[in-house]
Amino acid sequence: MSDNSGDTTKPWGGRFTESTDEFVERFTASVSFDYRLYPYDIEGSIAHARMLQKTGILTPADTTEIIAGLEGIRSDLEKGAFDWQVTLEDVHMNIEAALTRRIGDTGKKLHTGRSRNDQVATDIRLFVRQEIDFIAAIIDELQAALLDLAEREAETVMPGFTHLQTAQPVSFGHHLLAWFEMLDRDYQRLVDCRRRVNLSPLGAAALAGTTFPIDRHYTSELLGFSAPTANSLDSVSDRDFAIELAAAASIMMTHLSRFSEELVLWTSAQFDFIQLPDRFCTGSSIMPQKKNPDVPELVRGKSGRVTGHLMALLTLMKSQPLAYNKDNQEDKEPLFDLLDTVRDCLSAYLGMIPAIKCNRGNMRRAAMKGYATATDLADYLVKKGIPFRDAHEIVGKAVASAIEQEKDLSELSLDELKGFYSGIGEDVFECLTLEGSLNARDHFGGTAPKQVRQAINTARDRLALR
């Protein structure tokens, strides 16, 4: 970044009699971060130039020159051969000034009928639309990876938890499908948000539209937007789409944080349910035995950062009068960081999920502890004609006695069990096994491996229909 070479004349300098204070120049500049909008800025400018030609505002010769100039700038930028100037404030004025340096006075015609206000709104929408597509594609892949793992582990029994206390046995595949559903809602939220992102503010100009006979539908179409935005004031001031995206991203990061918490717990010596590949873990500089789940821990931590950006964007917009205000320049850093963070976290998961190794024996042993099949025994009694509340009471007593003897419910003898209710028969042991418990939950959305496999097939169809 340079601030003292090339043409630094302010494109808006006409009415000023003294030059900008050096501090103010740095304080108001955004080029140090908004430079990354350049591909969208150039795309938007080319569409604007084409529209100016179509409507007869620019001659075909001028338009051809402008577009060739912009394409030349784009290729310089791609090669890293572009000298960004802080004195030219932002990405828009840097590129416009470069155009004029390159093609001469014709370059000065590009800004006819537009303002940086509609220009920046257009750039961000193009950028966000592209990012949403990248992110949605990673979510899609991650969901497919979860389905593969769920299929592999459909029969794997683990304790299901509520309050982090053993509740009922579940299939590990079923647990993974819960993650799948969370990500599915995240995907849907992004797709929904994209519809409101994908509108063209170009032509709203500074705030009130322009006196030139522009064709906003044409630029909208050229840029692949679904329609132009309907009100010029709203067009330059609206950042709802960024807030919505940040909200969707925050919910998604909350999900990733919850997955991460489970991975951290499950890789601990106390649970020892799964192993993460070495390449996704790090060691300790003092404790030689350590293999730390840094990646899930960091993802968990980064959820705070993304939610923070949501708060920043909401607060940024609060109390802003119509239409554009310079405050809006503050939308970019949170938005950029949020999108980079989300992409990194999803990519980390995409690398980790297929490489998860299950310690099936430990999961099973854990499911045996904690009387996970107590509800099954209560349900068994209900099927023998006992009202559920009474059955609950009876099983509570059986559990208390089993705890005293340090036994599982399935290790109590038939006679002992009959002591709690005489109608208990030999068939009770079927429902006290882990497999019996799982298989009994044989309905849509239940944890029976048969249902899990069906759910995986349906989920695969859902992904295919996107």
For binding to ligand ARG (CB under 6 A), which residues are involved?
Answer: 30, 34, 90, 116-117, 120, 324, 326, 328-329
Tokens encoding 120: 């920046």
Q: Which has the closest alpha carbon to 164: 269, 254, 270, 255?
A: 270
* Contact in structure between 273 and 363 (CB atoms under 8 Å): yes
Q: How far is CA 354 from CA 63, 217, 336, 351, in A?
A: 51, 46, 28, 7
SS3 292: strand
- Which of the following is catalytic: 75, 226, 284, 347? 284
Task: Give whichever of 120 and 456 is closer to ligand ARG, judged by the CB atom.
Answer: 120
Task: Give whichever of 48 and 175 is closer to ligand ARG, judged by the CB atom.
Answer: 48
SS3 18: coil
* Contact in structure between 263 and 316 (CB atoms under 8 Å): no
- Which of the following is catalytic: 163, 285, 319, 413? 163
Tokens encoding 397: 């007593």
Task: Give whichever of 91 and 345 is closer to ligand ARG, judged by the CB atom.
Answer: 91
Task: Give whichever of 100 and 328 is closer to ligand ARG, judged by the CB atom.
Answer: 328
Q: Quote the CA–CA distance of 50 and 332 in Å, as a whole number.
A: 27
Q: How far is the CB of 132 from ligand ARG (least distance, A)?
A: 20
Task: Give whichever of 97 and 176 is closer to ligand ARG, judged by the CB atom.
Answer: 97
Q: Is 260 a catalytic residue?
A: no
Q: How far is the CB of 15 from ligand ARG (least distance, A)?
A: 14
Q: How far is the CB of 440 from ligand ARG (least distance, A)?
A: 60
Task: Give whichever of 123 and 376 is closer to ligand ARG, judged by the CB atom.
Answer: 123
Q: Is 392 a catalytic residue?
A: no
Q: Which has the closest alpha carbon to 47: 225, 309, 296?
A: 225
- The 3 state secondary structure assigned to 62-109 is HHHHHHHHHHHHHHHHHCCCCCCEHHHCCHHHHHHHHHHHHHHHHHHH
Q: Quote the CA–CA distance of 107 and 91 in Å, as a whole number.
A: 16
SS3 298: helix
Q: How far is the CB of 33 from ligand ARG (least distance, A)?
A: 9
Question: Phi then psi for 67, rounded to 5 degrees?
Answer: -65, -40
Give the number of other Cβ atoms within 10 Å of residue 105's Cβ. Answer: 8
Place of tokens 């020159």: 65
Q: Quote the CA–CA distance of 299 and 10 in Å, as a whole number.
A: 43
Q: How far is the CB of 220 from ligand ARG (least distance, A)?
A: 20
Beta-bridged to residue 165, according to DSSP, are 162
Q: How far is the CB of 61 from ligand ARG (least distance, A)?
A: 30
Radius of gyration for the alpha carbons in the chain, expressed in angstroms and rounded? 31
User: Omega of the bond prior to 372 within 30 degrees of 0, cis?
Assistant: no
Q: How far is the CB of 353 from ligand ARG (least distance, A)?
A: 37
Task: Give whichever of 172 and 324 is closer to ligand ARG, judged by the CB atom.
Answer: 324
Which residues are within 8 A (CB) of 202 and not within 5 positions of it... i.e. 6 or more apart? Answer: 44, 47, 48, 114, 118, 119, 121, 122, 216, 219, 220, 223, 228
Q: Quote the CA–CA distance of 110 and 63 in Å, as a whole number.
A: 8
* Contact in structure between 431 and 377 (CB atoms under 8 Å): yes
Task: Give whichever of 84 and 172 is closer to ligand ARG, judged by the CB atom.
Answer: 84
* Contact in structure between 335 and 246 (CB atoms under 8 Å): yes
Q: How far is the CB of 232 from ligand ARG (least distance, A)?
A: 14
Q: Quote the CA–CA distance of 392 and 399 in Å, as a whole number.
A: 10
Task: Give whichever of 207 and 394 is closer to ligand ARG, judged by the CB atom.
Answer: 207
Tokens encoding 62: 């001028």
Q: How far is the CB of 277 from ligand ARG (least distance, A)?
A: 42
Catalytic residue list: 163, 284
